[in-house]
Homo-oligomer: A and B are copies of this chain.
Amino acid sequence: MTPTIPADLARYCDASDARARDELFAFLRIPSVSARTEHKSDCADAARFVADALTRIGFTTTIERTPGHPIVVGEWRHAPAGAPTLLIYGHYDVQPAEPLELWTSPPFEPEVRDGRIYARGSVDDKGQLYLHVKALEAHLATRGTLPINVIVLAEGEEEVGSANLEAFLEREKTRLACDAVVISDSTMFAPGIPSILSSLRGMAYLEINVRGANGDLHSGMYGGAVVNPAMALARILATMHDADGRIAIPGFYDQVRPFPDHVRAQMRELPFSDDQLRHEVGVSALGGEPGYTTLERLWTRPTCEVNGLLSGYTGEGAKTVLPAVSMAKVSFRLVPDQDPQTIAELVQRHVAHVAPAGVTVTVEALHGGRPWRADLQGPIIDAGKAALAAAFGREPVITGEGGSIPVVGDFERILGAPVLLMGFGLPGENAHAPDEWMSDENYRLGIRAAAVLYDEYGRRATR
Protein backbone atom coordinates (compact mmCIF):
# COMPACT_ATOMS: atom_id res chain seq x y z
CA MET A 1 0.00 0.00 0.00
CA THR A 2 1.41 3.37 -0.97
CA PRO A 3 1.65 5.67 2.05
CA THR A 4 -0.39 8.88 1.86
CA ILE A 5 -0.03 12.38 3.26
CA PRO A 6 -2.01 12.75 6.51
CA ALA A 7 -5.10 14.88 5.84
CA ASP A 8 -4.30 17.63 8.39
CA LEU A 9 -0.83 18.20 6.96
CA ALA A 10 -2.13 18.04 3.39
CA ARG A 11 -4.80 20.65 4.13
CA TYR A 12 -2.34 22.98 5.83
CA CYS A 13 0.17 22.67 3.00
CA ASP A 14 -2.48 23.28 0.34
CA ALA A 15 -3.65 26.41 2.16
CA SER A 16 -0.17 27.84 2.65
CA ASP A 17 1.63 27.07 -0.63
CA ALA A 18 1.46 30.67 -1.86
CA ARG A 19 2.93 32.00 1.37
CA ALA A 20 5.60 29.28 1.36
CA ARG A 21 6.72 30.50 -2.02
CA ASP A 22 6.62 34.18 -1.04
CA GLU A 23 8.82 33.48 1.98
CA LEU A 24 11.28 31.52 -0.15
CA PHE A 25 11.44 34.46 -2.58
CA ALA A 26 12.39 36.79 0.28
CA PHE A 27 15.15 34.32 1.23
CA LEU A 28 16.37 34.15 -2.39
CA ARG A 29 16.62 37.92 -2.66
CA ILE A 30 19.51 37.93 -0.18
CA PRO A 31 22.75 37.63 -2.24
CA SER A 32 24.53 35.41 0.28
CA VAL A 33 27.57 34.59 -1.86
CA SER A 34 29.97 33.04 0.63
CA ALA A 35 32.99 33.18 -1.70
CA ARG A 36 33.01 36.97 -1.88
CA THR A 37 34.07 39.12 1.03
CA GLU A 38 31.83 41.94 -0.18
CA HIS A 39 28.81 39.72 0.55
CA LYS A 40 29.74 39.09 4.19
CA SER A 41 26.82 41.11 5.55
CA ASP A 42 24.44 39.45 3.08
CA CYS A 43 25.48 36.08 4.49
CA ALA A 44 24.76 37.39 7.99
CA ASP A 45 21.36 38.57 6.76
CA ALA A 46 20.59 35.14 5.31
CA ALA A 47 21.55 33.48 8.61
CA ARG A 48 19.21 35.85 10.46
CA PHE A 49 16.47 35.10 7.95
CA VAL A 50 16.67 31.37 8.71
CA ALA A 51 16.86 31.95 12.46
CA ASP A 52 13.85 34.27 12.42
CA ALA A 53 11.80 31.81 10.38
CA LEU A 54 12.56 29.01 12.85
CA THR A 55 11.85 31.21 15.85
CA ARG A 56 8.50 32.18 14.35
CA ILE A 57 7.33 28.55 14.15
CA GLY A 58 8.37 27.75 17.71
CA PHE A 59 12.03 26.77 17.62
CA THR A 60 14.69 27.93 20.04
CA THR A 61 17.30 29.48 17.83
CA THR A 62 20.88 30.65 18.11
CA ILE A 63 23.24 32.17 15.55
CA GLU A 64 26.69 30.83 16.23
CA ARG A 65 29.68 32.91 15.18
CA THR A 66 32.53 31.18 13.39
CA PRO A 67 35.78 32.53 11.90
CA GLY A 68 33.78 32.64 8.65
CA HIS A 69 30.04 32.95 8.13
CA PRO A 70 27.72 32.09 11.03
CA ILE A 71 25.97 28.78 11.71
CA VAL A 72 22.27 28.80 12.62
CA VAL A 73 21.04 26.20 15.09
CA GLY A 74 17.32 25.77 15.74
CA GLU A 75 16.06 23.27 18.33
CA TRP A 76 12.68 21.80 19.16
CA ARG A 77 12.88 19.20 21.90
CA HIS A 78 9.34 18.67 23.15
CA ALA A 79 8.60 15.29 21.51
CA PRO A 80 7.14 12.43 23.59
CA ALA A 81 9.58 10.43 25.70
CA GLY A 82 11.47 7.85 23.65
CA ALA A 83 11.08 9.81 20.44
CA PRO A 84 14.24 10.06 18.34
CA THR A 85 16.09 13.25 17.41
CA LEU A 86 16.46 14.19 13.76
CA LEU A 87 19.02 16.74 12.61
CA ILE A 88 18.13 18.62 9.43
CA TYR A 89 21.14 20.12 7.70
CA GLY A 90 21.17 22.70 4.91
CA HIS A 91 23.08 25.77 3.80
CA TYR A 92 22.01 29.35 3.27
CA ASP A 93 25.03 30.41 1.21
CA VAL A 94 25.07 30.34 -2.58
CA GLN A 95 27.55 30.17 -5.45
CA PRO A 96 28.74 33.38 -7.15
CA ALA A 97 26.27 34.40 -9.86
CA GLU A 98 28.77 35.33 -12.58
CA PRO A 99 28.62 35.52 -15.56
CA LEU A 100 25.67 37.84 -14.89
CA GLU A 101 24.99 38.58 -18.56
CA LEU A 102 23.92 34.98 -19.13
CA TRP A 103 20.99 35.14 -16.71
CA THR A 104 17.54 35.55 -18.27
CA SER A 105 16.30 37.29 -15.12
CA PRO A 106 18.57 38.77 -12.43
CA PRO A 107 20.00 36.08 -10.11
CA PHE A 108 18.70 37.67 -6.92
CA GLU A 109 15.25 38.64 -8.19
CA PRO A 110 13.41 35.29 -8.12
CA GLU A 111 10.88 34.70 -10.85
CA VAL A 112 8.66 31.75 -11.80
CA ARG A 113 8.69 30.82 -15.49
CA ASP A 114 7.24 27.57 -16.87
CA GLY A 115 6.88 26.08 -13.40
CA ARG A 116 10.44 26.83 -12.42
CA ILE A 117 11.65 29.16 -9.68
CA TYR A 118 14.65 30.95 -11.22
CA ALA A 119 17.21 32.44 -8.81
CA ARG A 120 20.73 31.82 -7.56
CA GLY A 121 20.31 29.41 -4.66
CA SER A 122 16.76 28.36 -5.59
CA VAL A 123 17.68 24.67 -5.61
CA ASP A 124 21.18 24.90 -4.08
CA ASP A 125 20.21 25.02 -1.33
CA LYS A 126 17.81 27.69 -0.10
CA GLY A 127 14.67 26.07 -1.55
CA GLN A 128 15.60 22.65 -0.23
CA LEU A 129 16.49 24.01 3.20
CA TYR A 130 13.41 26.17 3.48
CA LEU A 131 10.99 23.40 2.52
CA HIS A 132 11.91 21.73 5.82
CA VAL A 133 11.07 24.93 7.70
CA LYS A 134 7.66 24.92 6.06
CA ALA A 135 7.13 21.20 6.78
CA LEU A 136 8.01 21.75 10.44
CA GLU A 137 5.57 24.65 10.47
CA ALA A 138 2.83 22.40 9.07
CA HIS A 139 3.21 20.05 12.03
CA LEU A 140 3.44 22.75 14.68
CA ALA A 141 0.61 24.85 13.21
CA THR A 142 -1.83 21.98 12.81
CA ARG A 143 -0.92 19.80 15.78
CA GLY A 144 1.00 22.10 18.09
CA THR A 145 3.73 19.48 18.27
CA LEU A 146 6.19 17.31 16.36
CA PRO A 147 6.46 13.52 16.64
CA ILE A 148 10.26 13.77 16.98
CA ASN A 149 12.84 16.12 18.41
CA VAL A 150 14.35 18.26 15.69
CA ILE A 151 17.59 20.18 15.32
CA VAL A 152 17.96 22.41 12.26
CA LEU A 153 21.55 23.28 11.41
CA ALA A 154 22.07 25.77 8.58
CA GLU A 155 25.58 26.82 7.64
CA GLY A 156 26.86 29.55 5.36
CA GLU A 157 30.06 28.09 3.97
CA GLU A 158 29.00 24.99 2.05
CA GLU A 159 29.93 26.53 -1.30
CA VAL A 160 33.42 27.37 -0.08
CA GLY A 161 34.23 24.07 1.60
CA SER A 162 32.49 24.22 5.00
CA ALA A 163 35.78 25.15 6.61
CA ASN A 164 34.29 25.77 10.04
CA LEU A 165 31.58 23.13 10.22
CA GLU A 166 33.67 20.13 11.22
CA ALA A 167 35.15 21.93 14.23
CA PHE A 168 31.68 23.15 15.18
CA LEU A 169 30.27 19.61 15.07
CA GLU A 170 33.17 18.40 17.20
CA ARG A 171 32.73 21.17 19.75
CA GLU A 172 28.94 20.90 19.93
CA LYS A 173 28.54 17.17 19.48
CA THR A 174 26.69 16.74 22.76
CA ARG A 175 24.14 19.42 21.93
CA LEU A 176 23.86 18.14 18.35
CA ALA A 177 23.55 14.47 19.37
CA CYS A 178 20.89 12.86 17.18
CA ASP A 179 19.66 9.54 15.84
CA ALA A 180 19.67 10.49 12.18
CA VAL A 181 20.48 13.31 9.82
CA VAL A 182 18.48 14.36 6.78
CA ILE A 183 19.91 16.55 4.04
CA SER A 184 17.98 17.88 1.07
CA ASP A 185 20.65 19.25 -1.24
CA SER A 186 20.62 16.81 -4.11
CA THR A 187 18.90 15.96 -7.35
CA MET A 188 16.16 13.46 -8.22
CA PHE A 189 16.99 11.03 -10.99
CA ALA A 190 14.33 12.53 -13.26
CA PRO A 191 11.11 14.57 -12.99
CA GLY A 192 8.50 12.58 -11.06
CA ILE A 193 11.04 9.97 -9.92
CA PRO A 194 11.84 10.60 -6.24
CA SER A 195 15.32 9.48 -5.31
CA ILE A 196 17.48 8.58 -2.35
CA LEU A 197 21.15 9.23 -2.89
CA SER A 198 23.51 6.43 -1.94
CA SER A 199 26.84 7.96 -2.84
CA LEU A 200 28.54 11.32 -3.28
CA ARG A 201 31.86 12.18 -4.76
CA GLY A 202 34.37 14.06 -2.66
CA MET A 203 36.51 16.91 -3.83
CA ALA A 204 39.99 18.36 -3.81
CA TYR A 205 39.89 21.91 -5.20
CA LEU A 206 43.24 23.45 -6.05
CA GLU A 207 44.53 26.65 -7.56
CA ILE A 208 47.67 26.51 -9.68
CA ASN A 209 49.64 29.71 -10.19
CA VAL A 210 52.53 29.97 -12.60
CA ARG A 211 54.82 32.97 -12.39
CA GLY A 212 57.41 33.86 -14.99
CA ALA A 213 58.96 37.29 -15.42
CA ASN A 214 58.48 40.09 -12.89
CA GLY A 215 56.03 41.81 -15.23
CA ASP A 216 54.23 41.35 -18.51
CA LEU A 217 56.69 41.48 -21.41
CA HIS A 218 56.46 42.32 -25.11
CA SER A 219 56.07 38.93 -26.78
CA GLY A 220 58.21 40.04 -29.70
CA MET A 221 61.11 41.33 -27.69
CA TYR A 222 61.25 38.42 -25.25
CA GLY A 223 59.29 35.62 -26.91
CA GLY A 224 61.35 32.55 -27.60
CA ALA A 225 63.81 33.10 -24.76
CA VAL A 226 61.66 33.76 -21.69
CA VAL A 227 59.43 30.84 -20.68
CA ASN A 228 55.74 31.63 -21.22
CA PRO A 229 53.71 30.97 -18.04
CA ALA A 230 50.46 30.49 -19.97
CA MET A 231 52.00 27.88 -22.23
CA ALA A 232 53.72 26.29 -19.24
CA LEU A 233 50.35 26.05 -17.48
CA ALA A 234 48.73 24.47 -20.54
CA ARG A 235 51.51 21.89 -20.68
CA ILE A 236 51.16 21.15 -16.96
CA LEU A 237 47.39 20.70 -17.27
CA ALA A 238 47.82 18.46 -20.31
CA THR A 239 49.86 16.00 -18.23
CA MET A 240 46.94 15.36 -15.89
CA HIS A 241 45.18 12.92 -18.23
CA ASP A 242 46.63 10.30 -20.53
CA ALA A 243 45.59 10.10 -24.16
CA ASP A 244 42.64 7.81 -23.30
CA GLY A 245 41.16 10.06 -20.64
CA ARG A 246 42.47 8.32 -17.54
CA ILE A 247 44.01 10.56 -14.90
CA ALA A 248 47.78 10.29 -15.24
CA ILE A 249 48.89 11.66 -11.88
CA PRO A 250 51.01 8.94 -10.27
CA GLY A 251 49.16 7.24 -7.41
CA PHE A 252 45.85 8.96 -8.15
CA TYR A 253 43.78 5.77 -8.33
CA ASP A 254 45.59 3.92 -5.53
CA GLN A 255 42.91 4.54 -2.90
CA VAL A 256 39.90 3.91 -5.13
CA ARG A 257 37.68 1.11 -3.78
CA PRO A 258 35.59 -0.11 -6.73
CA PHE A 259 31.83 0.01 -6.38
CA PRO A 260 30.30 -3.44 -5.81
CA ASP A 261 29.14 -5.21 -8.96
CA HIS A 262 25.51 -5.25 -7.78
CA VAL A 263 25.51 -1.46 -7.38
CA ARG A 264 26.96 -1.03 -10.88
CA ALA A 265 24.35 -3.49 -12.20
CA GLN A 266 21.54 -1.50 -10.58
CA MET A 267 22.86 1.73 -12.08
CA ARG A 268 22.74 0.14 -15.52
CA GLU A 269 19.03 -0.57 -15.03
CA LEU A 270 18.10 3.07 -14.48
CA PRO A 271 16.46 4.65 -17.51
CA PHE A 272 19.33 6.71 -18.86
CA SER A 273 20.20 7.81 -22.36
CA ASP A 274 23.56 9.16 -23.45
CA ASP A 275 21.83 10.80 -26.41
CA GLN A 276 19.47 12.61 -24.09
CA LEU A 277 22.35 13.94 -21.99
CA ARG A 278 24.18 14.98 -25.13
CA HIS A 279 21.10 16.79 -26.30
CA GLU A 280 20.44 18.38 -22.91
CA VAL A 281 23.89 19.94 -22.66
CA GLY A 282 24.26 20.51 -26.39
CA VAL A 283 27.40 18.60 -27.31
CA SER A 284 28.15 16.34 -30.24
CA ALA A 285 29.83 13.65 -28.16
CA LEU A 286 30.37 12.73 -24.53
CA GLY A 287 33.78 11.85 -23.17
CA GLY A 288 35.44 10.43 -20.10
CA GLU A 289 37.30 7.49 -18.68
CA PRO A 290 37.25 4.38 -20.87
CA GLY A 291 35.53 1.22 -19.60
CA TYR A 292 32.61 2.85 -17.79
CA THR A 293 29.08 3.91 -18.66
CA THR A 294 28.14 7.57 -18.37
CA LEU A 295 26.34 7.08 -15.03
CA GLU A 296 29.34 5.19 -13.71
CA ARG A 297 31.64 7.98 -14.85
CA LEU A 298 29.44 10.52 -13.08
CA TRP A 299 28.74 8.59 -9.88
CA THR A 300 31.51 6.10 -9.28
CA ARG A 301 34.69 7.42 -10.88
CA PRO A 302 36.99 10.31 -9.92
CA THR A 303 37.62 13.20 -12.28
CA CYS A 304 40.02 16.05 -12.92
CA GLU A 305 38.41 19.25 -14.20
CA VAL A 306 39.70 22.71 -15.04
CA ASN A 307 37.21 25.15 -13.48
CA GLY A 308 38.92 28.35 -14.52
CA LEU A 309 41.81 29.71 -16.56
CA LEU A 310 43.27 33.21 -16.62
CA SER A 311 46.39 34.71 -18.12
CA GLY A 312 47.52 37.75 -20.06
CA TYR A 313 45.26 39.73 -22.32
CA THR A 314 41.70 38.51 -22.66
CA GLY A 315 39.90 41.55 -24.05
CA GLU A 316 38.85 42.49 -27.54
CA GLY A 317 41.41 42.26 -30.32
CA ALA A 318 45.08 41.39 -30.17
CA LYS A 319 47.70 42.26 -27.59
CA THR A 320 51.17 40.86 -28.05
CA VAL A 321 52.00 40.28 -24.44
CA LEU A 322 54.11 37.58 -22.88
CA PRO A 323 52.18 37.24 -19.61
CA ALA A 324 53.98 37.34 -16.27
CA VAL A 325 51.52 34.99 -14.60
CA SER A 326 48.87 32.39 -15.33
CA MET A 327 46.29 30.74 -13.11
CA ALA A 328 44.14 27.63 -13.26
CA LYS A 329 41.50 26.45 -10.85
CA VAL A 330 41.52 22.66 -10.95
CA SER A 331 39.26 20.34 -9.02
CA PHE A 332 39.21 16.62 -8.54
CA ARG A 333 36.02 14.72 -7.77
CA LEU A 334 36.88 11.83 -5.52
CA VAL A 335 35.33 8.45 -4.77
CA PRO A 336 35.71 6.17 -1.72
CA ASP A 337 38.33 5.81 -0.27
CA GLN A 338 40.25 8.71 -1.83
CA ASP A 339 41.34 11.33 0.66
CA PRO A 340 41.32 15.00 -0.40
CA GLN A 341 44.55 15.86 1.36
CA THR A 342 46.40 12.88 -0.08
CA ILE A 343 45.15 13.76 -3.56
CA ALA A 344 46.22 17.41 -3.12
CA GLU A 345 49.68 16.21 -2.14
CA LEU A 346 49.89 13.86 -5.14
CA VAL A 347 48.93 16.72 -7.45
CA GLN A 348 51.45 19.06 -5.83
CA ARG A 349 54.19 16.46 -6.25
CA HIS A 350 53.19 15.77 -9.87
CA VAL A 351 53.06 19.46 -10.80
CA ALA A 352 56.44 20.11 -9.21
CA HIS A 353 57.79 17.19 -11.24
CA VAL A 354 56.46 18.35 -14.62
CA ALA A 355 56.88 22.14 -14.18
CA PRO A 356 59.48 23.52 -16.57
CA ALA A 357 62.53 25.53 -15.50
CA GLY A 358 62.16 29.30 -15.79
CA VAL A 359 58.80 29.56 -14.05
CA THR A 360 57.69 29.23 -10.44
CA VAL A 361 54.65 27.06 -9.92
CA THR A 362 52.57 26.96 -6.76
CA VAL A 363 49.67 24.63 -6.03
CA GLU A 364 47.36 25.77 -3.27
CA ALA A 365 44.62 23.51 -1.89
CA LEU A 366 41.52 25.74 -1.59
CA HIS A 367 39.26 23.13 -0.07
CA GLY A 368 38.43 19.49 0.04
CA GLY A 369 35.74 17.05 1.06
CA ARG A 370 35.68 13.31 1.53
CA PRO A 371 33.64 11.05 -0.74
CA TRP A 372 30.81 9.07 0.83
CA ARG A 373 28.82 5.88 0.34
CA ALA A 374 25.62 5.11 2.26
CA ASP A 375 24.68 2.12 4.34
CA LEU A 376 21.20 1.74 2.83
CA GLN A 377 19.22 0.42 5.80
CA GLY A 378 17.57 1.44 9.07
CA PRO A 379 14.54 3.53 10.13
CA ILE A 380 15.64 6.85 8.58
CA ILE A 381 16.09 5.22 5.14
CA ASP A 382 12.76 3.41 5.42
CA ALA A 383 11.04 6.59 6.58
CA GLY A 384 12.54 8.48 3.65
CA LYS A 385 11.26 5.89 1.20
CA ALA A 386 7.76 6.07 2.69
CA ALA A 387 7.72 9.88 2.75
CA LEU A 388 8.82 10.20 -0.87
CA ALA A 389 6.30 7.59 -1.96
CA ALA A 390 3.53 9.47 -0.15
CA ALA A 391 4.43 12.82 -1.69
CA PHE A 392 5.23 11.68 -5.24
CA GLY A 393 2.93 8.67 -5.55
CA ARG A 394 5.73 6.24 -6.44
CA GLU A 395 8.60 4.42 -4.80
CA PRO A 396 11.94 6.26 -4.88
CA VAL A 397 14.93 4.92 -6.79
CA ILE A 398 18.40 4.63 -5.29
CA THR A 399 20.96 6.74 -7.10
CA GLY A 400 24.51 8.04 -6.92
CA GLU A 401 25.58 11.56 -7.58
CA GLY A 402 28.65 13.18 -9.06
CA GLY A 403 28.48 16.26 -6.90
CA SER A 404 29.95 16.68 -3.46
CA ILE A 405 28.39 17.45 -0.09
CA PRO A 406 31.63 17.23 1.86
CA VAL A 407 29.94 17.41 5.24
CA VAL A 408 27.95 14.17 4.89
CA GLY A 409 30.87 12.09 6.03
CA ASP A 410 31.55 14.49 8.90
CA PHE A 411 28.02 14.07 10.26
CA GLU A 412 28.28 10.30 10.21
CA ARG A 413 31.73 10.27 11.75
CA ILE A 414 31.29 12.93 14.43
CA LEU A 415 27.65 12.47 15.42
CA GLY A 416 27.56 8.73 14.77
CA ALA A 417 24.21 9.06 13.02
CA PRO A 418 23.18 7.73 9.59
CA VAL A 419 22.44 10.30 6.90
CA LEU A 420 19.44 10.29 4.57
CA LEU A 421 19.99 12.25 1.35
CA MET A 422 16.54 13.14 0.12
CA GLY A 423 16.82 15.83 -2.55
CA PHE A 424 14.32 17.60 -4.74
CA GLY A 425 16.51 19.11 -7.45
CA LEU A 426 16.20 18.03 -11.08
CA PRO A 427 18.67 17.40 -13.89
CA GLY A 428 19.44 20.58 -15.81
CA GLU A 429 18.76 22.85 -12.86
CA ASN A 430 21.97 24.90 -13.47
CA ALA A 431 22.93 24.64 -9.83
CA HIS A 432 26.31 26.40 -10.23
CA ALA A 433 25.56 28.18 -13.51
CA PRO A 434 23.44 31.04 -14.83
CA ASP A 435 19.65 30.55 -14.74
CA GLU A 436 19.64 28.24 -11.72
CA TRP A 437 16.13 26.99 -11.05
CA MET A 438 14.12 24.74 -8.77
CA SER A 439 10.92 23.05 -9.87
CA ASP A 440 8.02 24.87 -8.23
CA GLU A 441 6.17 21.54 -8.04
CA ASN A 442 9.12 19.88 -6.32
CA TYR A 443 9.31 22.69 -3.80
CA ARG A 444 5.68 22.04 -2.93
CA LEU A 445 6.01 18.23 -2.92
CA GLY A 446 9.25 18.54 -0.96
CA ILE A 447 7.38 20.30 1.87
CA ARG A 448 4.89 17.42 1.95
CA ALA A 449 7.57 14.72 1.77
CA ALA A 450 9.47 16.33 4.64
CA ALA A 451 6.30 16.62 6.71
CA VAL A 452 5.56 12.92 6.22
CA LEU A 453 9.20 12.02 6.91
CA TYR A 454 8.97 13.34 10.47
CA ASP A 455 5.85 11.21 11.11
CA GLU A 456 7.28 8.08 9.52
CA TYR A 457 10.59 8.41 11.28
CA GLY A 458 8.89 8.99 14.61
CA ARG A 459 6.71 5.92 14.07
CA ARG A 460 9.73 3.73 13.22
CA ALA A 461 12.31 5.03 15.67
CA THR A 462 10.45 5.88 18.86
CA ARG A 463 11.49 3.48 21.59
Pair A434/B326 contact, Cβ less than 8 Å:
no
Pair B35/A404 contact, Cβ less than 8 Å:
no
Residues of chain B within 8 A of A235, CB atoms compared: 234, 237-238, 241
Closest to A327 in B: B314
Pair A366/B317 contact, Cβ less than 8 Å:
yes
Which residues between 262 and 297 of chain A lie within 8 Å of chain B, taking CB atoms?
277, 281-289, 294, 297
With contact pairs A289-B224, A331-B219 given, residues A306 and B358 touching in the complex (Cβ less than 8 Å): no
Which residues between 199 and 227 of chain A lie within 8 Å of chain B, taking CB atoms?
201, 203, 205, 207, 212-227
- A236-249: CB near B (< 8 Å → 1, else 0) gives 01101100000000
Q: Which of A95-103, A387-395, A445-453 contacts B (4 or more CB under 8 A)?
A: A95-103
Complex Cα distance, B227 from A208, in Å, reads 21
- Min distance, Cβ A226 to any Cβ of chain B, angstroms: 6
Residues of chain B within 8 A of A316, CB atoms compared: 35-37
Q: How many residues of chain A are within 8 Å of chain B by beta carbon?
A: 101
Give the interface centre of A235, A281, A304, A435 by most chain B CB atoms within 10 Å.
A281
Q: Report copies per complex.
A: 2
Q: Which of A76-84, A129-137, A425-433 contacts B (4 or more CB under 8 A)?
A: A425-433
Residues of chain B within 8 A of A285, CB atoms compared: 227, 357-358
- Min distance, Cβ A424 to any Cβ of chain B, angstroms: 15
Pair B358/A225 contact, Cβ less than 8 Å:
no
Complex Cα distance, B187 from A205, in Å, reads 44
Cβ-based interface call for A370 (8 A): no
Residues of chain B within 8 A of A434, CB atoms compared: 215-216
With contact pairs A220-B203, A318-B366, A319-B329 given, residues A309 and B311 touching in the complex (Cβ less than 8 Å): yes
Pair B294/A225 contact, Cβ less than 8 Å:
yes
With contact pairs A234-B237, A402-B221, A433-B216 given, residues A310 and B314 touching in the complex (Cβ less than 8 Å): yes
Pair B223/A333 contact, Cβ less than 8 Å:
yes
With contact pairs A287-B225, A403-B218 given, residues A309 and B310 touching in the complex (Cβ less than 8 Å): yes
Cβ-based interface call for A308 (8 A): yes
Residues of chain B within 8 A of A40, CB atoms compared: none
Residues of chain B within 8 A of A321, CB atoms compared: 307-308, 432-433
Residues of chain B within 8 A of A201, CB atoms compared: 220
Cβ-based interface call for A416 (8 A): no
With contact pairs A225-B287, A225-B298, A309-B230 given, residues A220 and B403 touching in the complex (Cβ less than 8 Å): yes
Closest to A433 in B: B216
Residues of chain B within 8 A of A212, CB atoms compared: 281, 283
Cβ-based interface call for A116 (8 A): no
Pair B318/A224 contact, Cβ less than 8 Å:
no
Pair B322/A233 contact, Cβ less than 8 Å:
no
Residues of chain B within 8 A of A102, CB atoms compared: 215-216
- Min distance, Cβ A43 to any Cβ of chain B, angstroms: 13
Residues of chain B within 8 A of A214, CB atoms compared: 281-282
Complex Cα distance, B243 from A238, in Å, reads 12
Q: Which of the residues B225, B286, B294, B323 comes within 8 Å of A297, measured between beta carbons?
A: B225
Pair A283/B314 contact, Cβ less than 8 Å:
no
Pair B319/A35 contact, Cβ less than 8 Å:
yes
With contact pairs A98-B313, A227-B285, A358-B285 given, residues A318 and B160 touching in the complex (Cβ less than 8 Å): yes
- Min distance, Cβ A107 to any Cβ of chain B, angstroms: 13
Complex Cα distance, B155 from A392, in Å, reads 70
Pair A35/B432 contact, Cβ less than 8 Å:
no
Q: Which of the residues B277, B287, B297, B312 comes within 8 Å of A329, measured between beta carbons?
A: B312
Cβ-based interface call for A48 (8 A): no
Complex Cα distance, B285 from A287, in Å, reads 38
Residues of chain B within 8 A of A150, CB atoms compared: none
Closest to A314 in B: B310
Residues of chain B within 8 A of A323, CB atoms compared: 306-308
Q: Which of the residues B96, B216, B226, B326 comes within 8 Å of A287, measured between beta carbons?
A: B226
Q: 17 A-B residue contacts at CB 8 Å?
A: A219-B305, A223-B331, A224-B302, A226-B277, A226-B287, A227-B283, A230-B309, A234-B235, A234-B237, A234-B238, A283-B358, A307-B323, A308-B321, A317-B366, A319-B329, A319-B432, A321-B433
Told that A214-B281, A224-B301, A224-B402 touch, could you supply 13 new A-B pairs with CB distance under 8 A?
Answer: A35-B317, A36-B315, A214-B282, A215-B434, A217-B430, A219-B303, A221-B401, A221-B427, A233-B309, A235-B237, A285-B357, A285-B358, A310-B314
